[in-house]
A and B are shown apart, each in its own frame.
Chain A
Amino acid sequence: MLKYTCRRILGMIPTLLIVVTFVFFFVRLIPGDPARLVAGEQATLEDVENVRIALGLDQPIPVQYAKYITGLVKGDLGTSLRTKRPVTEEIGDRYGNTLKLTFSSLIWSTIVGVALGVWSGTHRGKWQDYSGMALAVSGISLPSFWVGFLLISAFAVKLGWFPTTGADGISSLVLPSITLGVSIAAVIARFTRSSIIETMQEDYVRTARAKGLAENVVIWKHAFRNSMLSVVTVVGLQFGFLLGGAVITEAVFAFPGLGSLLIESVNYRDYPAIQSLILIFSLQFIIINLLVDVLYAVLNPEIKLK
């Protein structure tokens, strides 16, 4: 197991290098001059050129590339062109928020999604199934920004129960995580349902029933256990996406997370920030995939990690 993990981690490095290099050149393709954007309104040409020198953008591209890569090796993600702060600080400020939002969304949506999926799947064809799946299919059809607005309008403004934006404290997590969680719960529910339906048809379930075990036990101790693998896959996938920044939800709630940082950085052509953010996203995704694979092996000893 350890050897496998180490090998996977080492394998990440060339991939990440490719990603970083690709992004480095890719962002410079996008039209737009960061020096002018940073110099801002009422800037004269001289101001813009001053800013360009101050930001190191007048250096030839290979030099900028070398600087960035050597910085990466030392753990320096570059300096934001927009705020002049180290990118590590910018990301650090927001990472906690994104983690909090991710976990809070994932936890409740996994619980609700699994519960709904099992409930529907074990009552296949009956009213429970129809209503459960009606909820789920609605969940994946809702535009998240609309849901966000509805929630803000009802709960934050009209009722004043929660803050409309920001990230101070738990109460400001509630509305965004509900917004995000709705479609995740729906996806998990649908997935769990089809998985449960399949496993319920397996022989060992029939055996368990024949042994006289209570239906509950049959469902949870036997059928669901074996569905867990699929559920874990799906949850892991969603986790990866969430950490990549729930861009639209963050925009609606003015939630200071990684997604909105990416958008702001793109708007300002903040090359170091964009490069480092994409790098972080890829790294996260790779790590999560690794964790999911390892979790597979733990859950099902039959699976051998190659």
Chain B
Amino acid sequence: MRKVIFALLMAAALTLTACGGGDKKPAAPAAGGGASVSQNTDVKAAVAVDFTTMDPQDTNDTLSGGIQRMVMDGLFGFDDKMKVYPMLASGYKANDQATEFTITLRKGIKFTDGADWNADAAIANIKKWKGEGGIKLKRTSFLSSTIKTVDKVDDYTIKINLTKPFGAFISNLAHPCCVMMSPKVIAAGNEACAKKPAGTGQYKFVEWVAGDHLKLELNKDWWGYKADLAGGKALADKDAGFKSITFKPVGENATRVAMIQSGDAQIIWPVPTENLATLKSDKKVQVFEDEGIVVRYLFMNNQKKPYSDLKVRQAINYAINKEAYIKVVKNGIGSVATSIIGPNVQFYKKNEAVKYDPAKAKELLKEAGLPNGFTAKLMFANTTTNQKQAEFFKQQLSEVGINVDLKGMENAVLNQKVESVNVPGSEAEVELFMIGWSPSTGDADWGIRPLLAKESFPPHSYNICYFANDELEKYIKQGLESADVNVRKDAYAKAQDLIWKEVPMIFLSNDFNTWATGAKVTGVKIYPDGAINMKNAKMTK
């Protein structure tokens, strides 16, 4: 018996001594020095998932893309409001048919590994986009079929010839997958691009230990700090930036929240909406929310009965209370959708959201010949958030007699049954489908074409609504085939009005991005597309 007690005490003692593991606090700012306080401070950020790769052409997640944007700049980029502005390019000219784009490049800029920024570097990147060398990456199809050839006009001018008219080309160049990688890294091969990128960006890549952390350090020679190199106006304040940033993937929401509260991390994003209230009441933490470009929809298979009837679609629209959706499903964080695209997307046109009116919904159903409602099938990937949304829709539609059969399943299986099928819409299994879409080029084209164009039926893209409308096709084409901003604006305005009238899907809400920083941190933002924006971030004393 004594032996047992002794053993237990030992075990207890061992366990207790082990729990001394302290939290790591950020390194104290170094005294003095030419750089600002902020630029002498190391900072830690906690993110929700791990990074996937550092090669922009192989990236389809916002997190990795956002970090790549800190290390590499593109010919064009997005400002805080998703407006396109020239970065490594100083300007461009396009022909009327939107098939030739001549781009002038900025001078006096170097990559952090010593390579020069010039036409040769740009062309090396464009060749990579086209998939030359036979390597197919996740984003190869983004521009590879659009770009025909690229010519070097002189050391700082290139001309890109397209295979077909493409008015949204410049917006596409601003897409995170088109940031410029140093030609030395490209020459070193795919592994290097994926693991050790080098760019002209505000930060230098230091290291990435998969699953553990990723570290960047400040590039003090960044051209963006110098007004003369940046075309007249510096992209960030001279004292902005941190000495280094260490990103830690922390999947568990509660942990990220705990980290920002304890000071273990100075920046976290996203903040789960359930915890916003807790953080807002914490004096040591600043909490932010801002409208993003993700819009949430409830898709309907327009080629299947009864959704093929406009009245039924309208009825469902009236039956779903968008404000309640935001309150219940999004914990109050969001805004009602007023178009198929969000207000921050180029060429957005506002429409009036219909008011919640279950009585009208029932009336419309009666007019459509369904006075007793009908049974609908809703398929979704069984994450906790989706389950919540699904239950909400079931509740709402039950009020007007529509009985929703919830079919949650594994993501992989859902993909198999919905995104990968290759049959006409009337034969597809899907009826109702929940989805959020982010037009990552910030352009109306990418918010409409993949969702509603005939070329986008599954398995090609995401027209899971199986919507086929010739008038819409006309507008999409008009917007695509001109580089003239006014022509495009007009085309997309007409497109959005038509879409609003036809209700191929229910437009629910615009997602808000949420993030939190320690009280001493300023200037951290999130781009509307969800990527982190630390251009003007500073640590105050």
Judge A-B direct contact (beta carbons within 8 Å). yes
Q: In whole angstroms, what is the CA distance A170 to B450 when docked?
A: 49
Most buried by B among A33, A41, A85, A174: A41
Interface centre among A32, A160, A161 (most CB of B within 10 A): A32
CB distance from B59 to the nearest CB of A (A): 9
- Are the CB atoms of A174 and B19 closer together than 8 Å? yes
Chain B's closest residue to A163 (CB) is B255
Q: With A47-B138, A47-B139, A170-B19 given, is the CB distance from A36 to B415 under 8 Å?
A: yes
Interface size on A, residues (CB 8 A): 60
Which B residues between 372 and 420 are near A, CB-CB below 8 angstroms? Answer: 410-413, 415-417, 419-420
Stretch at the interface among B30-38, B105-113, B342-350, B456-464: B456-464
* CB under 8 Å from chain B, chain A span 29-78: 30-34, 36-48, 50-51, 53-54
User: Does B60 count as interface, using CB distance less than 8 angstroms?
Assistant: yes
Whether the Cβ atoms of A165 and B461 lie closer than 8 Å is no
Flag if A42 contacts B60 (CB, 8 Å). yes
> A111 vs B14: C-alpha distance in the bound complex, in angstroms?
13
Determine whether the beta carbon of A32 is less than 8 Å from that of B415.
Answer: yes
B138–A50 CB distance below 8 A: yes
Min CB distance, B20 to chain A, in Å?
8
Interface membership of chain B positions 1-34, coded 1 if the CB is closer than 8 angstroms to chain A and 0 otherwise = 1111001100100010011110000000000000
Given A45-B460, A165-B252, the answer on whether A51 and B19 have CB atoms closer than 8 Å is: no
The answer to whether B141 touches A46 (Cβ under 8 A) is yes
Assess A267 versus B60: contact at CB under 8 Å? Given A50-B136, A111-B7, A171-B21.
no
From the candidates A32, A42, A163, name the one contacting B462 in the complex (CB within 8 A).
A42
Contacts of B495 in A (CB 8 A): none
Q: Are A156 and B415 in contact (CB under 8 A)?
A: no
Known: A42-B462, A111-B11, A164-B252. A157 touches B19 (CB 8 A): no
CB distance from A39 to the nearest CB of B (A): 6
How distant is the Cα of A135 from the Cα of B138 in the complex, in angstroms? 54
Closest B residue to A40 by CB, please name it. B60
Query: Nearest Cβ distance between residue B60 and chain A, in whole angstroms?
Result: 4
Cα–Cα, bound, A46→B3 (Å): 68
Query: What CA separation (Å) do A75 and B416 show in the bound complex?
Result: 33
Distance, CA A171 to CA B24, complexed state (A)? 13
Complex Cα spacing A275 to B298, Å: 37
B131 vs chain A, min Cβ distance (A): 8
Complex: chain B residue closest to A116, CB-CB: B4
B440 CB contacts on chain A under 8 angstroms: 42
Please report which residues of chain A, range 183-204, place their CB below 8 angstroms from some CB of chain B when the two chains form the complex.
none
Tell whether B140 is near chain A: CB-to-CB under 8 Å: yes
Which residue of A is nearest B264, CB measured?
A163
Is the Cβ of B7 less than 8 Å from the Cβ of A115?
yes
Q: How far is the CB of A18 from chain B (nearest CB, A)?
A: 26
B67: shortest Cβ distance to chain A, in Å?
16
- Is B254 located at the chain interface by the 8 A CB criterion? yes
Decide if B137 is an interface residue (CB 8 Å cutoff). yes
Contact A47 B415 (CB under 8 A): no
Q: Which chain A residues (212-261) contact chain B, with CB distance < 8 Å?
A: 216, 219-220, 253-254, 256
A37–B412 touching, CB < 8 Å: yes
A47–B412 CB distance below 8 A = no
**A 169-185 to B, binary, CB cutoff 8 A, 1 in contact else 0:** 11111100000000000
Give min CB distance, B247 to chain A, whole Å. Answer: 14
B136 pairs with A216, CB closer than 8 A: no
Given A31-B413, A32-B416, A54-B136, is A44 in contact with B141 using a C-beta cutoff of 8 Å?
A: yes
CA gap between A48 and B138 in the complex, in Å: 8
CB atoms of B412 and A33 under 8 A apart = yes
* B61 in contact (CB, < 8 A): yes
In the assembled complex, B251 has its CB within 8 A of some CB on chain A: yes
Report if A279 contacts B (CB, 8 A).
no
Bound-complex Cα distance A40 to B438 (A): 13
CB of B11 within 8 A of CB of A166, answer no
A85 interface neighbour in B61, B136, B210, Cβ under 8 Å: B210
Which residues of B lie under 8 Å from residue A30 when comparing CB positions?
412
Given contacts A152-B254, A253-B252, 6 further A-B contacts (CB under 8 A): A111-B7, A111-B11, A165-B252, A170-B21, A171-B20, A254-B255
When A and B form their complex, which 4 residue pairs have the shortest distance between CB atoms, in order from nearest?
A32-B412, A50-B136, A170-B18, A171-B21
29 contacts between A and B (CB under 8 A): A30-B412, A36-B415, A37-B412, A41-B61, A42-B60, A42-B440, A42-B450, A44-B460, A44-B461, A47-B141, A51-B136, A54-B135, A85-B210, A108-B11, A108-B15, A111-B7, A111-B11, A115-B7, A160-B262, A162-B19, A163-B21, A163-B255, A164-B254, A165-B250, A174-B18, A220-B3, A254-B251, A267-B412, A269-B412
Chain A contacts to B: CB under 8 angstroms:
30-34, 36-48, 50-51, 53-54, 83-85, 93, 107-108, 111-112, 114-115, 118-119, 152, 156-157, 160-166, 168-174, 216, 219-220, 253-254, 256, 267-269
Binding site for A on B (CB under 8 A): 1-4, 7-8, 11, 15, 18-21, 52-53, 60-61, 135-141, 145, 194, 210-211, 250-252, 254-255, 258, 262, 410-413, 415-417, 419-420, 437-438, 440, 450, 459-462
